[in-house]
Amino acid sequence: MSVETAKAYFRRSDDSDASVADIVALFTEDAVLKSPREGIFRGRDEVREFYERNAEFFAEGVHDIDSYYVDGSTVVCEGTISGRTTAGRSYEGVGLVDVMDFDRQEISELRVYLDYSAIRTELPDDEEVPDFRQ
């Protein structure tokens, strides 16, 4: 079931012993990932790049997912994240919604909705904010 893959995604994301490869293995070869902080990543190699950048930004984090909503091949995951950035900023209970589309049991698209203003010490200039209208 797709919810089990979504739960595996959060377990691996929170596991300090899990590698980027462990997380990326949950995605299809042609997956798409959309992040408000980093932009759009297409294909498993670019998804890997996103998680490598993520590891440079987040020192640690723990997801607390309250609800999983299923509609066909889509799972909406709603909860919070707490942790610390590599710049030393701590954050707690930051709201998030991740929307995952699945092809069989692999993630074919992930749309991340996270309140980065609660995490970053400085917000990016308008020119640095990803444009999802592409």
Q: Is residue 125 a part of any domain in this protein?
A: no
Task: Give the range of the structural domain holding residue 79, as residue numbers without chain letter.
Answer: 2-120
Q: How crowded is the C-beta side of 6, counted as CA atoms within 13 Å? A: 28
pLDDT of residue 127: 54
Q: Is residue 19 a part of any domain in this protein?
A: yes
Q: Is residue 128 a part of any domain in this protein?
A: no
Q: Is residue 96 a part of any domain in this protein?
A: yes
Q: Is residue 133 a part of any domain in this protein?
A: no
Please tell me the pTM assigned to this model: 0.84
Per-residue pLDDT of the chain (134 residues), as tens digits, is: 699 999 999 999 999 899 999 999 999 999 999 998 788 999 999 999 999 988 888 888 899 999 999 999 999 999 999 988 888 888 888 889 999 999 999 999 999 998 766 665 444 555 554 555 44
Strands (E), 7-127: 27-35, 39-42, 58-71, 74-85, 90-103, 106-114
Q: How many domains does the chain have?
A: 1
Q: How far apart are CA 72 and CA 124, in angstroms?
A: 36
Q: Is residue 126 a part of any domain in this protein?
A: no
pLDDT of residue 64: 96
pLDDT of residue 133: 47
Phi, psi angles (nearest 5°) of residue 22: -65, -40
What are 51's strand-pairing partners? none
Q: Is residue 129 a part of any domain in this protein?
A: no
Q: How far apart are CA 130 and CA 15, in angstroms?
A: 28
pLDDT of residue 101: 97
Q: Which CATH number fits the domain that encloses residue 114?
A: 3.10.450.50
Q: Please name the residue that has the structure tokens 């990016």.
A: 124
Six-digit token string for 99: 């929307």
Q: Is residue 134 a part of any domain in this protein?
A: no
